[in-house]
């Protein structure tokens, strides 16, 4: 496959567009210029580092190194889920709920795809395992963060109605059903929109990358369909698990709403 190499000038020109956007945002007095520049810098550094790490992994095929990279990815994703919430569970629960939900959903779906569907040799081959897990974790992270943020905000906002329903004898899962359903809907909306618009409004990233790399279009399409379905399953199951665990944590064993278990973001 013939891949057109990009020069430092090409990357610099693209970076200039982001800097220009930050300037316009700053001129509009929106508090987004600094986060935008920091995110762009982080993306450049992190992708550069992961490129070096993947070169080492591809040459070694050591399962221990692959597991270490996967664990690091999960740890960072768990932190990002926690940090994106305006109100989160206090203590280690704020981190654990998102990390556990991502581990169960993303890793299960990734292993199923590698062992049963893609079937590389060996099944943990890093050129398949790491990109696949990265896409699953990245999208599941976004979905879970959105779901948990909507859940905790909704519980805080509707605390009076929820406590009234609890006083009337409803169980915690009945009193919080509306908030939980809205949280899951919020978590799944991005991937639903992505699937609905795929191939019509946009060409998804993996498919575009494979086509640019020289893969036959139909083969790229098949891989993209597989990835979209895997992401939808991982995000959905992860969000359902995270929302359930977080909601259960906010109610005690006597079916009382305990909002002191939530911590507002400073």
Over residues 30-48, mean pLDDT: 88
Domain limits, the chain: 1-60, 62-264
Segment among 82-86, 137-141, 164-168, 221-225 with least mean pLDDT: 82-86
Over residues 79-86, mean pLDDT: 81
* Beta partners for residue 262, in sequence order: 89
The torsion angles phi and psi of 168, rounded to 5 degrees, stand at: -85, 0
Exposed, middle or buried, 244 (CB in 10 Å: 0-12/13-18/19+)?
Answer: middle
The number of beta carbons lying within 10 Å of the beta carbon of residue 61 is: 13
What pLDDT, on the 0 to 100 scale, is given for residue 262? 73
pLDDT band at 240 (very low <50, low <70, confident <90, very high): very high
Which of residues 259 and 232 earns the better pLDDT score?
232
Residue with tokens 């496959």: 1
DSSP the chain: ---PPPPHHHHHHHHHHHHHHHHHHHHTT-TTHHHHHHHHHHHHHHHHHHHHHHHHHHHH--HHHHHHHHHHHHHHHHHHHHHT-SEEESTTHHHHHHHHHHIIIIIHHHHHIIIIII--SSTT-HHHHHHHHHHHHHHHHHHHHHHHHHHHHHHHHTHHHHHHHHHTT--HHHHTHHHHHHHHHHHHHHHHHHHHHBTTTB--HHHHHHHHTT--HHHHHHHHHHHHHHHHHHHHHHHHHHHHHHHHHHB-TTS-B-GGGEEE--
Judge whether residue 48 has pLDDT over 80: yes
What pLDDT, on the 0 to 100 scale, is given for residue 2? 59
Which of residues 83 and 187 earns the better pLDDT score?
187
pLDDT digits (tens, 9 = 90+) for 2-22: 566 778 888 889 989 999 998
Judge whether residue 87 has pLDDT over 90: no
106 close to 198: Cβ distance less than 8 angstroms: no
What pLDDT, on the 0 to 100 scale, is given for residue 265? 66
pLDDT band at 251 (very low <50, low <70, confident <90, very high): confident
228 close to 204: Cβ distance less than 8 angstroms: yes
What pLDDT, on the 0 to 100 scale, is given for residue 185? 92
pLDDT digits (tens, 9 = 90+) for 173-202: 888 888 899 999 999 998 888 888 777 666
What pLDDT, on the 0 to 100 scale, is given for residue 88? 78
Judge whether residue 36 has pLDDT over 60: yes
d(CA 15, CA 43): 11
Over residues 35-52, mean pLDDT: 88
């Amino acid at each position: 496959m013939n891949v057109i190499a990009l020069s430092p000038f090409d990357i610099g020109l693209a970076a200039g567009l982001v800097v220009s956007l930050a300037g316009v945002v700053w001129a509009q007095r929106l508090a987004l210029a600094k986060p935008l520049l920091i995110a762009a810098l982080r993306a450049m550094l992190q992708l550069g580092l992961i490129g070096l790490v993947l070169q080492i992994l591809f040459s070694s095929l050591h399962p221990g190194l692959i597991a270490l990279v996967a664990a690091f990815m999960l740890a960072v994703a768990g932190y990002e889920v926690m940090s994106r919430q305006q109100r989160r569970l206090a203590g280690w629960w704020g981190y654990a709920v998102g990390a556990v939900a991502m581990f169960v959903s993303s890793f299960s779906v990734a292993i199923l795809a590698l062992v049963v569907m893609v079937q590389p040799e060996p099944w943990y081959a890093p050129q398949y395992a790491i990109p696949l897990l990265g896409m699953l974790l990245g999208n599941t992270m976004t979905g879970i963060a959105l779901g948990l943020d909507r859940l905790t905000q909704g519980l805080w906002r509707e605390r009076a109605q929820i406590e009234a329903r609890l006083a009337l004898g409803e169980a915690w899962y009945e009193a919080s059903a509306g908030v939980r359903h809205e949280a899951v809907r919020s978590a799944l909306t991005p991937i639903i929109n992505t699937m609905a618009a795929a191939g019509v409004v946009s060409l998804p990233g993996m498919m575009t990358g494979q086509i640019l790399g020289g893969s036959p279009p139909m083969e790229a399409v098949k891989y993209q369909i597989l990835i979209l379905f895997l992401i939808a399953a991982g995000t959905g199951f992860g969000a359902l698990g995270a929302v359930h665990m977080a909601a259960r944590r906010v109610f005690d064993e006597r079916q009382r709403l305990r909002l002191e278990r939530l911590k507002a973001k400073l």
